[in-house]
Structure 1
């Protein structure tokens, strides 16, 4: 699993933006920026839709006031699902990025197998990345939502 003070691995994440598929290289996404990145097990799932993403939507301005350049939500879903979920959640201020095949989640060592529920998914986590280096890493215990919420990350900044 990725650790504090580690460099983020190279990879790619997709975003559906204005009807076009955009592939983001993580080396460029994190370069010379402070980024809050959080991951959810799945778009449109209960905790993810009721509290996790909405918390970041509500606190986006406060996070940016603390020097955050971008807020990124990642899930092992496709870019079409992530875009639709972002629209449904009024997440205009959040980059809704897809890790469709889970390869970036695996590179981070934060994957989990949910078996018949959904197969390979991401663990629930949040991190602060400063110029490609992990400065805060909050990984949830299974079935918990205590340390990856927007309030916890805001306090860590």
Structure 2
């Protein structure tokens, strides 16, 4: 699993903005920036939709006031679903990235196999990433939502 002090791997992501698809790299997203990154097991799932994303939406302004250049949510899904979920969650302040084949989750050591429930997914976590390097990692225990929330990240921003 990726640890504080390590750099994020060089990866590409799919996303949709304003109805158009595009590809971005970790360098595009993280170089020279302070980024709050969080991952969820699945869009439109209960904890993700009822607590995790809404918390980051509610605290987006405060996170940015404390120095976050961007707030990124990633999930093992496709760009169309992530775009629809962003609209459903009124999450225009967040960048919703599709990790379609779980390559990012796997590269971080943050993947999990949920079997027939959904297959390979990302673990639930949050990270503070500065200029491509991980400063903080908040990994949830399976089935928990206690440390990767927006309030915890707000308290960790310096």
Q: Shift of residue 75 of structure 1?
A: 0.2
1:51 corresponding residue in structure 2: 51
Q: Which residue of structure 2 aligns with residue 94 of structure 1?
A: 94
**Runs of at least 4 residues off by over 6 Å:** none
Unaligned runs of 5+ in 1: none
Normalised TM-score (structure 2):
0.98
Q: C-alpha separation between the residues in 1 aligned to 2:128 and 2:91?
A: 19
Q: Tell me, which stretches of 5 or more residues in structure 2 are unaligned?
A: none
Task: Confirm or deny that 1:41 pairs with 2:25.
Answer: no
Q: Deviations over 1:22-69 (max 9, x none)?
A: 111012210000000000000000000000000000000000001100
**Cα RMSD (Å):** 0.5
Which residue is 1:29 aligned to? 29
Q: Structure 1, residues 103-142: CA drift from partner, whole Å, max 9, x if none?
A: 1111111000000000000000000000001011000000
CA displacement 1:58-91 (0-9 Å, x = unmatched) = 0000000011000000000000000000000000
> Does 2:156 match 1:156?
yes
TM-score (norm 1): 0.99
The offset of 1:20, in angstroms, is 1.2
**Residue 104 of structure 2 corresponds to which residue in structure 1?**
104
Aligned to 2:82: 82
Instruction: Confirm or deny that 1:4 pairs with 2:14.
Output: no
